[in-house]
Structure 1
Amino acid sequence: MDFVGYAILLTTSFLASIIGGMMGMAMLILPPVMIFLGVPIHTAIATGRFAMLGINVGSIAMFSGKGMMRREYYLVFAVAGMIGSFAGASLLALIPERALYLLLGTFMILISIVMLFEEKIKKLHPAKGAITLRRHALSVGAGLLLGAYMGIIGGGGATVIIFLLVLIYGVTFHEALANQKAISLPITLVAALVFIMQGLIDYSLGIPMLLVNVVGGVIGAHLVMKMRGPWLKAILVPVTIAIGIKLIFF
């Protein structure tokens, strides 16, 4: 990759990490940009997932001081997610390139559509109430499925976790956002370790991206506590859908 491409990638990674810290859609941005810059799709997904560690670390550093992260909301989901992530990440290298383009494009479109109904979903949450076995069971099922998806593709998985925490435990959006970081970090770490063992990560891209993502994650977590940024969603959703269509059909 030449200097211009490298500069574009790091700038995109930084901006995506801010968005990821705010609404969890960074993996819908990074792999497509890497692919368009000439990175093979398996490497793009694996390296992008490795770089996501920076967002999670930066965001957790910001949220941990707010007292919003509670073990009863994230622990069960995170453990199940780690199991699912290991299974999903182990399959990535076996999936044909064309199938990955179809999967990535399809999920980019689906997650973007979900984002259009974000405000309605947030209003559907049940009363917070007691932490019950039923709620934990729902977390296990959701964690296994989302973990597997985030291990294979990952784009938008963090956003879905936010919505699921709202629906399962009845937490507020900001509580869900904070606890989602404690779920996404171990899921991402497991997937990254699998990709490291498989030799899929391009460290010349991944390490600089990870470092700028730490800063972006802190900024995004700070911004989301002050605003929600509907204008950001209005721009991001149609662009993401357009990129998804291109990956599927072109």
Structure 2
Amino acid sequence: MDWIHSLGLFVGSLIANTLASLSGGGAGLLQFPLLIFLGLPFSTALATHKVASVALGLGAAFTHIKQKSIPPTIALYLILVGSLGVIIGANLVLMIPENIAEKALGGMILAIGIYSRVKKQLGQEEIQANRTVTGWTIGGIIFVLIGIINGSLTAGSGLLVTLFLVRWFGFSYKQAVALTMICVGLFWNGIGGIAMIQAGAPIHWPWLGTLLLASLLGGALGAFLTTRLSNQFIKLCFELLTAAVGIKLLV
């Protein structure tokens, strides 16, 4: 690429990852289509995006850990149960009818955005719920399923995790976004990227440095804003991004 395309790739990726870090997911809304627009085949763009997204989680994790906004035991729980689904999803990616899967995911994401908009007080304060053996077990099954989505599709799984943490376990949006960024952004995407490489998906290495830098900076910037903005504003960002991701996947 010439410097103009490289700058466009950096700026587009920076915006995508800042929004994702602020809202709890959705980096693939801009970054993945951008890679295809610049000429990468679908499988190469997906694998390259997955690997680059690890830096998003790393940048966000640094800020959230510094602020002590991530409960270690819950983070470990999310990493373990979700990683199982990610590995399954990464190996299923070539077997799933892409068009049908993306439209189904788009409809679901659009629906959760509307649900969050209707529930005005959702995620404004922490209200402990379903934090029993049964609750954690059911939650674990759901996270495995979301992990499969994460491993096999381009965008949206982080948004599903964020809302499920808010709705099922009663976390505030700030807490849910912080957990999503370190668990999904760093570990799920990292494991998914490795699994995809082992499954034979190619990485476009010449662009990876630019993507990693933009993802790292975007993750840190979004996490910084999360610690300083209200739950109401973060909720609004989440709802706008879910609408955009849902419509993009459907259309």
Judge same fold: TM > 0.5, yes or no: yes
Q: For residue 140 of structure 1, report the CA deviation from its aligned partner.
A: 1.1
Partners of 1:212 and 1:7 lie apart in 2 by 10
Q: Residue by residue, what CA displacement relative to the aligned partner does 1:190-210 show, whole Å, maximum 9, x if unpaired? A: 101112222421111223201
Amino acid at match of 1:82: S
Moved more, 198-207 or 162-171: 198-207
Q: Alignment identity in percent?
A: 21
Q: Counterparts in 2 of 1:204-243, with a 5 A limit?
A: 204-227=206-229, 228=233, 236=241, 239-240=244-245, 243=248
Partners of 1:71 and 1:241 lie apart in 2 by 31
Unaligned runs of 5+ in 1: none
Q: Does 1:13 align with 2:13?
A: yes
Partners of 2:241 and 2:134 lie apart in 1 by 35
Q: For residue 3 of structure 1, report the CA deviation from its aligned partner.
A: 4.3
Alpha carbons 1:32, 1:243 under 8 Å: kept: no
Q: Counterparts in 2 of 1:15-94, with a 5 A limit?
A: 15-23=15-23, 24-94=25-95
Alpha carbons 2:47, 2:201 under 8 Å: kept: no
Q: Residue by residue, what CA displacement relative to the aligned partner does 1:218-249 show, whole Å, maximum 9, x if unpaired? A: 10111122332677568656654554344xxx
Q: For residue 100 of structure 1, report the CA deviation from its aligned partner.
A: 2.3
Q: For residue 66 of structure 1, report the CA deviation from its aligned partner.
A: 1.7
Alpha carbons 2:81, 2:143 under 8 Å: kept: yes
Alpha carbons 2:113, 2:239 under 8 Å: kept: no
Superposed CA RMSD in Å reads 2.6
Amino acid at match of 2:67: K
Q: For residue 37 of structure 1, report the CA deviation from its aligned partner.
A: 2.4
Amino acid at match of 1:71: P
Partners of 1:234 and 1:169 lie apart in 2 by 19
Partners of 2:242 and 2:178 lie apart in 1 by 22
Q: For residue 163 of structure 1, report the CA deviation from its aligned partner.
A: 1.0
CA gap 1:183/1:232 in 2 versus in 1, 3 angstroms: closer
Unaligned runs of 5+ in 2: none
Partners of 1:78 and 1:69 lie apart in 2 by 13
SS across alignment from 2:228: coil
Alpha carbons 2:112, 2:163 under 8 Å: kept: no
CA gap 1:124/1:31 in 2 versus in 1, 3 angstroms: same
SS across alignment from 2:39: coil
Alpha carbons 1:79, 1:143 under 8 Å: kept: no
Report the counterpart of residue 138 of structure 1 in structure 2: 138
SS across alignment from 1:74: helix
Moved more, 222-231 or 171-180: 222-231
Report the counterpart of residue 116 of structure 1 in structure 2: 114
User: Please, what TM-score do these two structures have when normalized by structure 2?
Assistant: 0.84
Would you say how many aligned residue pairs link Structure 1 and Structure 2?
A: 243
Moved more, 48-57 or 99-108: 99-108
Amino acid at match of 1:88: G
